[in-house]
Each structure stands twice: as structure tokens, then as C-alpha cells.
Amino acid sequence: MQDDRRLAVLRAIVEDYVATEEPVGSKALVERHGLQVSPATIRNDMAALEEDGYLAQPHTSAGRVPTDKGYRLFVDRLTTIKPMSGAERRAISTFLDGANDLDDVVSRSVRVLSQLTRQVAVVQYPTLSRSTVRHIEVVALTPSRLLLVVILSNGRVEQRHVELETDYGEADLAVLRSRVNVAATGKQIVEAVSSLDGLATDDLLDAVSKDVALTLVEAMSDHSSDERFVVGGTANLARFGDSFETAVAPLLEALEEQVVLLKLLGEASSGDAVTVRIGAEGPYEELSSTSVVATGYGPQSDALATLGVVGPTRMDYPTTMAAVRAVARYVSRILDEG
């Protein structure tokens, strides 16, 4: 019973401190949260939580503030991630469903995530290496010129042209189209490239089939989208006040480095798993007053990349976790339907 009450006290202090950025006192807790015990009992609970490292007292006679350990316990004891409201879900859906292509999906995702959380949002482009080939189309633009269209599970579409020395008939084209799709469709990029490589070096195939297979290998071997991020909402850093001022400069520097961002967000996790790294749990000491909430996204529960938000440890974790998961779900659905 005592542990349950102390957890309720910690939860109340986290909520109040996030909302006010002011140390929280026992009297305010009793008045605002109806804890059904005296301020003296609450003071004892706060002292015990402080002794265990969950709270800190910034000044003598001041109230308490959560420590990183306190935030961690608060997050770990969230039994479920609270659902977004119907209005919020409709807003996300309406905004993202209007996207025209992958670039637009990523751009819109950053904007809606930063607006929902009022934090800095970061979205990684789906990495080519984790994708699968959804379909390959081979179209004759002229009897001596082919258009190759590769559609990947990450929403990316690659187009290449192949010039032919001789005309290519429709029957031959149908065979070629079937051949490359059997070799690559449904396979991850590495496996598809290996299979197409086999076609390109098969002495039993005609020169056109070899040229097409080689062109497809080159298209799939382009990893220019890997480790590429879009960042939005950096203006939100201005609202966090003096307590976060020393972290703003190193965070802005981190947001400009792709490799740093990759490490900061961590590996993409599949499904609904939302990762929360608080303060010193992160990979960079200079960002020890920063928290990161992230998750993976991709079609059919395949995590192709990561999206999330970065902000101060004094963060509204329940709302942020819900927004990160919701946006990831919508982006995954768009890629799945694409």
C-alpha cells in the first residue's frame, strides 16, 4: 500500500513538474491530486523517494523535482500507452493521407509529429537495405527502348531506361517481365540483387535480358537514402526555458549530423514497441538532459526506419509516446498500401 501511494506521489510530481517547471511541494500535491492523506504523510513519502534517488530537492525548503531515475520509473510503470483522441487520430490521418510520394510522407510526418508533441521531431528515410521488392514493371516505350520501374516496400520507386540495339517483341517482353519478377519480387534487396546478378551472368540468356538484369542490380544497389533524416520543430526548443538552455547548442549540433542522429534514435524496433531513453541513458554525455522517444515503422510490421522526438527530460512522456506510436502506425499503413 505504501509503495502504491509513493508511486502515485511520484506520478503526481512528474505530471506537475512537466506542466509548471516548478519544484512541487506536498501541500500542492494534496490540493491538486486528492491523494487522501495529510501533507505530512506526503512529505515523508517525498523524503523516501528522494532517499531512493527518484526525486531531488534543488533548494533547501523548496519542493521536489523528478530525477532521471524518477522519470524512468514513471515511464516503466505506464501500464499502457494512452490512445490518441478521435480528433487527433483524424488529424493525423487526414494530414498524412494527402501525401503524394515518399518524400511528402516523410515531410508531413515530421510536421505532424512536432505539432502533436511540441518537441523536435526526427524521421529517418526508409533504408533501402531493409526493403523488399514489391514489383518490377518492364514497359516498351519504343521497340528499342525499355522503361524499368522498381517498386520497393519502403515506398521508394526507382526508374531506369535501357536502350536496345535491336527491336524487342511483345512476346519476348512478357517473358522478360516474368523472369525478373520471379527473380526479385518478394525478396529483400540483398537477396534480389544476388538473384538478378545470376541472370546478368547467365550465358543462356539473351543480351537484352542481361542488360535489364544488370540495370536493375545497379538501381537496387543505390543506398543514397540510407541514414538520411528529416528534422522538424527545432523552434520548439525555445519554449523550454533556462533549465534546458545549456543543452540546446549541443542538441542543435547533433541534429545536423546524420550519424549522430542514427545513434541517438537507436535501432528501429518493429511492432508497437516504443523506446524511451532518458537523460544519461542516451549515447552522448553532452545530451544528458535530453530524452528520446522513438519507434520503428514499415509495412507489415517490418521496421525499415525509425522516427521519434527529442526534447528535455521534463517531457510529457505519455502524450509523446502515444503520438510517436500513432504517427508510426499511419506511416506504416501508407507504405503497406503504396
Nearest to 126 by CA among 112, 106, 141: 106
How confident is the model over 33-83, as pLDDT tens digits? Answer: 877 888 889 999 999 999 999 999 887 777 899 999 999 999 998 867 778
Q: Phi and psi for 241 in degrees, rounded to 5?
A: 80, -170
- Is 297 in contact with 285 (CB distance < 8 Å)? no
Question: Per mean pLDDT, which range of 81-95, 224-238, 301-315 is the poorest?
Answer: 224-238
pTM: 0.77
How confident is the model over 282-319, as pLDDT tens digits? Answer: 888 888 889 999 999 987 667 778 999 999 999 999 99
Burial of 281 (0-12, 13-18, 19+ CB in 10 A): middle
Q: How far is CA 283 from CA 45, 213, 287, in A?
A: 33, 42, 8
Q: What confidence tier does 121 reach under pLDDT thresholds 50, 70, 90?
A: very high
Domain 86-127+225-337 coded CATH 3.30.450.40? yes
For 52, the 3-state DSSP assignment is coil
Rounded distance between C-alpha atoms, residue 207 and residue 108, angstroms: 44
What's the CATH class of domain 129-220? Answer: alpha beta
Label the pairing between strands 305-312 and 120-124: antiparallel
Q: How far is CA 252 from CA 59, 97, 255, 278, in A?
A: 30, 30, 5, 18
Residue 142 has pLDDT above 60, yes or no: yes
Q: What fold is seen in the domain 2-76? A: Arc Repressor Mutant, subunit A (1.10.10)
Domain ranges of the chain: 2-76, 86-127+225-337, 129-220
- Is 138 in contact with 148 (CB distance < 8 Å)? yes
Nearest to 42 by CA among 58, 63, 21, 26: 26
Rounded distance between C-alpha atoms, residue 305 and residue 297, angstroms: 6
